[in-house]
Amino acid sequence: MGWTFNVANPDAATNAPAIAVVGIVFTVLSTLVVSLRLYVRSSIVKKISIDDWIIVVTWFLLFIFVAIKLAQTRWGLGLQNVEDMPPQNLYYFGLLAYASSLFYVCAILGFKLSILFTFFRMATDRLHRFSIVGLAVACSMFHFCFFVVQLRLCNPVAKQWDPAITDGTCIPTMPLYTAMAVITIIFEVLILLTPLPILLYSVFTPRKNLLIGAIYILSIFVCFIQIIRLLFITNQSSAIDTSPLLNWSVVEVSLGIIASSLLSLAPLFESFLASEIDTFKLSLKIDHAKMAVKRVRKESPTWQKITLLLGYGKLKGQKGENRSGSRLESRPNSRRKWEGRGGGEGSAGGLNFEMGIVKTTEVIISREGST
């Protein structure tokens, strides 16, 4: 028995495995990002805002959308040949497609609102904040209209998934989806322009600038996905062959969730750098490593002879005498002092040296009138 229900040929070619891989991989990836975001906002920042709740709801919408898409593969989604589609599967195939489209419309609105509210928290200028709120309201109204039209695309509504209903009317889907895709791309571009006043009049750390750049890259890619979906809709030959369109929809919503969460993850990188690079603990570990190396060198007679021969070393805290009888006194945390009793040139003599510095000092003591 094949994966698809009621299929005559159990070995009918299907893209169901690819659909499952795309859905599961991007759902897991978005789950990790949302989990990190909630951890940062609750444990590090200690404040969960409205944009965080919006992205959590968006993730649930994505999860349901992927679950419906996977269930739809059991009823014929992914079949490469339209002839292999069992007629008795059309009812549930159309019903699941109708349900998944509603969750998709709400999900793409969710990550856009999350991004806008994130920029709203960063904005300081009143006019800029008003423009962000206006854009959020306009985007919400557009997606609400899109949702209502998608909800009642046909009259009666059941005509969208029940092939047995022959009477009634439906809105032409090609012009509708084309117009909706174009308006969606326009809103994507406007959202990309939203943080420009913040970038022009504010100074961010390189970490935040890098994250904002990543948001731009992901948002631009989301715009390209919308263009790809638009081209697919205009060139679609069958209402059943929608697996590539649904795969791109999963990628679009997942990348939108990730893009809207990047700025919220900035404290996580700051905490990591503060705990691993900019703290005293790492400096202390480095000092311990240096001391261990010095101890090994100190206990190695061969190494001491080599360093003494090369002229590098450090006087130990001992007393010694030069050839002319002068006494060298070494005191802790103080300068070394010569107490001369006669003329001549100072010599290290039998003094012990310890590896530690790479500098030598030659001291010559003479009396007046001597050569």
User: Per residue in 1-29, pLDDT tens?
Assistant: 578 899 888 888 899 999 999 999 999 99
Work out the percent of the chain whose per-residue pLDDT is above 70.
Answer: 70
Nearest of 12, 296, 14, 257 to residue 112 by alpha carbon:
257
As beta bridge partners, residue 365 has 344
Mean pLDDT, all residues of the chain: 79
CA-CA-CA-CA dihedral for 308, 312, 315, 321, to nearest 10: 50
Residue 334 has pLDDT above 80, yes or no: no
* 135-139, 181-185, 307-311: least confidently modelled range: 307-311
**Per-residue confidence (pLDDT) for residue 284, from 0 to 100:** 52
Mean pLDDT of 41-59: 93
Name, of 172-186, 330-344, 354-368, the range with top average pLDDT: 172-186
Mean pLDDT of 323-329: 44
**Per-residue confidence (pLDDT) for residue 190, from 0 to 100:** 92
Domain that holds residue 268: 15-276
Give me the helices (H) in 123-205, please. Answer: 126-151, 173-193, 196-201
Give me the CATH number covering residue 133. Answer: 1.20.1070
Q: How confident is the model at residue 297 (pLDDT cuts 50, 70, 90)?
A: low
**Per-residue confidence (pLDDT) for residue 338, from 0 to 100:** 42
Evaluate whether residue 340 is within a structural domain. Answer: no
| Structural domains in the chain (count) | 1
Token readout for 138 is: 């306009």
Of residues 180 and 295, the one with the higher pLDDT is 180
Going 100 to 105 to 107 to 108, the CA torsion angle's sign is positive
Work out the percent of the chain whose per-residue pLDDT is above 90.
Answer: 41
d(CA 15, CA 50): 38
Q: How confident is the model at residue 268 (pLDDT cuts 50, 70, 90)?
A: confident
d(CA 97, CA 65): 10
* 57-61, 300-304, 352-356: least confidently modelled range: 352-356
Residue 201 has pLDDT above 90, yes or no: no
* 79-93, 99-113, 119-133, 316-330: least confidently modelled range: 316-330
**Per-residue confidence (pLDDT) for residue 235, from 0 to 100:** 80
Mean pLDDT of 56-72: 96
Evaluate whether residue 290 is within a structural domain. Answer: no
Evaluate whether residue 333 is within a structural domain. Answer: no
**Per-residue confidence (pLDDT) for residue 91, from 0 to 100:** 94
d(CA 124, CA 40): 23
Evaluate whether residue 178 is within a structural domain. Answer: yes
Evaluate whether residue 263 is within a structural domain. Answer: yes
**Per-residue confidence (pLDDT) for residue 57, from 0 to 100:** 97
**pTM metric for this prediction:** 0.71
Residue 243 has pLDDT above 80, yes or no: yes
Q: How confident is the model at residue 239 (pLDDT cuts 50, 70, 90)?
A: confident
- CB of 32 closer than 8 Å to CB of 26: no
Evaluate whether residue 367 is within a structural domain. Answer: no
Evaluate whether residue 311 is within a structural domain. Answer: no
Evaluate whether residue 143 is within a structural domain. Answer: yes
